[in-house]
A and B are shown apart, each in its own frame.
Chain A
Amino acid sequence: MSADRRPHGDGPHEDGTAVRDPAAQPERTRMAWRRTTLAFAAVVALLARGTLHDGGPPQAYAPAALGALVWLGFLALAHRRIRALDVPRPGPLGTRTAYTAAVCTLSVPIFGVVVWLW
């Protein structure tokens, strides 16, 4: 983020008193998206481990492949939101983004049950 795009109030005032940093809000939200994407990757890796460990016919790998695809989708979603957050006063999270994020998360336990049933 370049200095001229930072919201006013960021950094010390002219009189030298430090103010709370409003820019940390988008920053923290950006990192929250990153953490969530990382956690998602770990869960998908565990899902893949389950299918690869069992061996079996090629179609048994389908849930792991779908899980990886869903993770890529989540990564793209997080990336879009992170780009939208890189402005001084970001707009609120869109309901469609929130729904998509939840559906991505919801699909992982479903794949997990599918792996188990296979």
Chain B
Amino acid sequence: MIKRLWYGLRDPLRLWLAPERMRAEGTTPDYRFSLANERTFLAWIRTALALVAGGLAVDQFLTGLRPGPRAAIAVVLLAGGALCAVRAVNHWLRTERAMRRGDDLPLSRFPVLLALGTAVAALVVVAGVLLGELGR
């Protein structure tokens, strides 16, 4: 059990702690593919920044809500932004390595989870605004 966990964790840990070693593997892909991967990384960074902006905006502009729920929504959005930033690097590293090795590109459930999370957050904010207006 512990052995299996170790084997599962060893690869991502190595990738995270010694990312430069990735460059020793395989062959350098066409620079256009690397640049496309870089732009995808930057797009994810912007997504992270957008979530952070959403969190800050909820805290600053949703003043009709009580402080408790408002802070909860804001913190969830900020945490989502942080998670998105970490995941951006991880995905960039994995894609870069897959391209060097000639493997298939890594698949991920993250976009689906993010879409669902964003939809839920939007509905909660709408409900919050409506309740705030009604309670006035």
Contacts and interface: CB of A to CB of B under 8 A. Distances in A.
Interface of A: 22, 25-26, 28-29, 32-33, 35-36, 39-40, 42-43, 46-47, 49-50, 53, 85, 89-93, 95, 98-99, 101-102, 105-106, 108-110, 112-113, 116
A22 B33 CA distance: 11
Interface of B: 19-20, 22-23, 28, 31-32, 34-39, 41-43, 45-46, 48-50, 52-53, 55-57, 59-60, 71, 74-75, 78-79, 81-82, 85-86, 88-89, 92-93, 96
A32 B47 CA distance: 13
B59 A99 contact: no
A112 B74 CA distance: 9
11 contacts: A29-B39, A32-B39, A33-B42, A36-B46, A39-B50, A46-B57, A49-B60, A50-B56, A105-B45, A105-B81, A106-B86
Contact of A110 (B19, B28, B82, B86): B82
A31 to B, nearest CB: 9
